[in-house]
Amino acid sequence: MSKRTKLQRISALTGTWLPAIVLAAAAVAFATPATFTPLGPAVPYLLMVIMLGMGMTLRPKDFAIIGRRPWPVALGVLAQFLVMPLAGYGLALAFDMGPMLAVGMILVGSSPGGTASNVMVYLSKGDTALSVAMTSVSTLLAPLLTPVLVLWLAGEFLPVDAGSLFVSIVQIVLVPVVVGLLLRRFAPRLIDKVLDALPLVSVLGITLVVMAVVAGSADTLLEVGGLVVLAVVLHNGFGLALGYALAKLGRMPATGRRAVSIEVGMQNSGLAAALATAHFNPVAALPAAVFSVWHNISGSLLAAYWSRRPVKDTQEEREAAEA
């Protein structure tokens, strides 16, 4: 058995067990916060590595779907930046959260789609090409849309410097993704050698981000942990349900509905945690940390459910999707 095959198996195994790994890591960080609090300043850099890896997995054909099927991509991205920010804001008001936690909920909601969503859509027998396109487009739009949404919705809770948020997102997300794309384009042989390791690197990065945030907000988690967990579960649930409903209203086929549901429900909570840590404080990052744990669990459960229910889109639905 080659080393490459072994690496593929290890990466696949860690991806499969990501929810359990992240949950265990959060528990360890909560039990011994002093050990992992020093990781806090490294959160933006960890996310940059994750986004670099995302960029290296993208190819021109991943963007070709935008030209062939602009409506499904546009609908999905619109749902992403409409449903989740408003749901986060509404839940913060409904639960009468303090300013920091409210901002944290809005930051999670205003972030682009999560990188693990593509795997969940694939396992769900959904439209993986649409999922990848939605993640890519929402990520590239994040430097513009995320600061505007946070300023609009979170400004009533705390002062928000949208310009600083824009710069941070460009540094943490846009630059690494573009560098990854360029490396894939101009050094394909080099990138092919490390592609199998990227899922493992992403799992490690996500795990360390969660540990850093949980450790930095352990005291707050003791006080309002139940409230935050309930709010995050509802937030994620609204995203999954409303994403599916909007896709159905848009007459998308079942495979597309599954993709949009998971894309809208799963957020780049690592970005939310990094922005909260850099521009507010670790308490504001708490919803992102809980979201990182929960959306991987809910996404895995939903993928397992849908994987046992293969879809057979009608000819009319397939033609509508390709139009």
> SS3 for 265-311, per residue?
HCECHHHHHHHHHHHCCCCCCHHHHHHHHHHHHHHHHHHHHHHCCCC
Amino acid at the residue 79:
A
Q: What is the pLDDT of residues 113-124, one digit of tens each?
A: 887 888 888 888
Angstrom distances, CA of residue 212 to CA of 274, 275, 281: 10, 13, 12
- Cite the beta strand spans of 19-104 per DSSP E: none
3-322: CATH architecture: Up-down Bundle (1.20)
- Find which of 210-224, 253-267, 269-283 is predicted with most confidence, using mean pLDDT: 253-267
CA dihedral (88, 90, 92, 93) in degrees, to 10, reads: 170
Q: What is the pLDDT of residues 47-99, one digit of tens each?
A: 899 888 888 888 888 888 888 889 999 999 999 999 999 999 999 999 999 99
Predicted confidence band at 315 (pLDDT cuts at 50, 70, 90)? very low
Which tops the pLDDT comparison, 106 or 219? 106
Domain boundaries, the chain: 3-322
Is pLDDT of 213 > 90? no
Name beta bridge partners: 113.
267
Predicted confidence band at 1 (pLDDT cuts at 50, 70, 90)? very low
The pTM of the full predicted model, rounded to 2 decimals, is 0.87
Query: Mean of the pLDDT values across residues 181-189?
Result: 89
